Amino acid sequence: MVYSLEAQTFGDFMTEYEVEHRDVVAQALNLTCEQKKNLYEALRQNADDKNRFYNYQFYADNCTTRAGKMIAAQCQSFQLENILPDPSPTYRQMIHIYLDRQQQYWPELGIDLLLGSNLDKKPGNEQAIYFLPDYLMVGFDHAHTSRGPLVLRKEILLRFSKVTSDKVWLTPVFVFSFLFVLSILLSLIRKVYAQKTLLIFDVVLFSLLGLVGLVMLYVWLFRVDEVCRNNINIVWALPTHLVAVFFLARNPAWLKYYFLITAILSAVLLLGFRWWPQQMNIALVPMLMIIVFRSSHLFLKLNHAKDHQLPGKDPRL
């Protein structure tokens, strides 16, 4: 992932943050005139075309990392105090604090799906400070140099009150729980229309799961940094689902065993949900329940259809 730095005027920066309702806090740094001059020159050189592009590393070399370390490099005897609580959070938990505060439950689900178990490591104090902007601000508040405290004073330039979304109920947990209940209700109805609806439901469900799994596999293999690797979510979002759905109408002998294995894998994930080394999003509980239920149902239906299929009869019905 090649990122690039873009320079803009302070006025444009403030306008952008005001439009997006994002807070801005200014820290006045305790730097000498020479340090300020050197910092400005370093920033100017970094904005040159030959320097402004870089390979983005999610938690090791991002925009916060570069800003913080560039400032620290201009200070003599720079020291950071510990700002982490006990017990310290993981990278994933640090991100969740941001997203939960803004009620960004769908982006949080997306992050939890694609970023693997490496995100569940606990960063050290310096790693945490250079990972996220709020941690950098607090870290600088407690930093010292040969001239004393790094931050002389702070000023709030923009502050917005928290706005609660009127669609906060439309969370992944609610949507997936609704789909789980819907699948159960449709399964209880023996009418032909209900069974055909279930067939469409299964095709859409496992196609989407396969596509998600394909994306997981791609970023696992080809992303430069390691943040998307060792992703346990691929156990339930198998890319092979994209192949299996095309055989639902043909009912080959192996298909029932495929869905049996799918049901077992998802059930194991569900039973060990709280103990896996990778923290899984809570919305995956109803999703795993859907997969277990529909995979088990398909196994039983396909098994029964294979044993009792009549000429001309659709085995899915």
Distance between CA 110 and CA 174 in Å, rounded? 16
The confidence band for 167, taking pLDDT boundaries of 50, 70 and 90, is low
> At 139, is the pLDDT very low, low, confident or very high (cuts 50, 70, 90)?
very high
Q: What mean pLDDT is predicted for residues 242-259? A: 90
What is the pLDDT, as a whole number, of residue 208? Answer: 97
pLDDT of residue 165: 62
Residue 191 pLDDT > 90? no
pLDDT at 186 over 50: yes
| Per-residue confidence (pLDDT) for residue 316, from 0 to 100 | 47
Confidence of residue 161 (pLDDT cuts 50, 70, 90): confident
Please tell me the distance from the alpha carbon of residue 157 to that of residue 24, in angstroms, as a whole number.
5
pLDDT-derived band at 155 (thresholds 50, 70, 90) equals very high
Alpha carbons 62 and 225: distance in angstroms, whole number: 12
Q: Which two tokens stand for residue 181?
A: 């209940």
User: Residue 258: what are its φ and ψ, rounded to 5°?
Assistant: -60, -45
Which range is least confidently modeled, 132-136, 147-151, 295-299, 309-313?
A: 309-313
The per-residue pLDDT for 303 is 83
Query: Quick check: 315 pLDDT over 50?
Result: no
Question: Are the C-beta atoms of residues 59 and 127 closer than 8 Å to each other?
Answer: yes
Domain map (residue ranges) of the chain: 2-88+123-158, 172-308
Rounded distance between C-alpha atoms, residue 309 and residue 217, angstroms = 37
Cα dist. 253→188, 201, 258, 303, 307 in Å? 26, 22, 10, 9, 11
**Tell me: the pLDDT tens digits for 75-113?**
989 999 999 999 999 999 999 998 998 889 999 999 999
Q: Which two tokens stand for residue 82?
A: 């510990």
Residue 310 has pLDDT above 70, yes or no: no
Note the pLDDT tens digit of each residue in 24-76.
999 999 999 999 999 999 999 999 999 999 888 888 899 899 999 999 999 98
Mean pLDDT to the nearest integer, 5-31: 94
Provide, rounded to the nearest whole percent, the portion of the chain with pLDDT above 70. Answer: 94
Per-residue model confidence (pLDDT) at position 36: 95
Is residue 304 scored above 80 in pLDDT? no
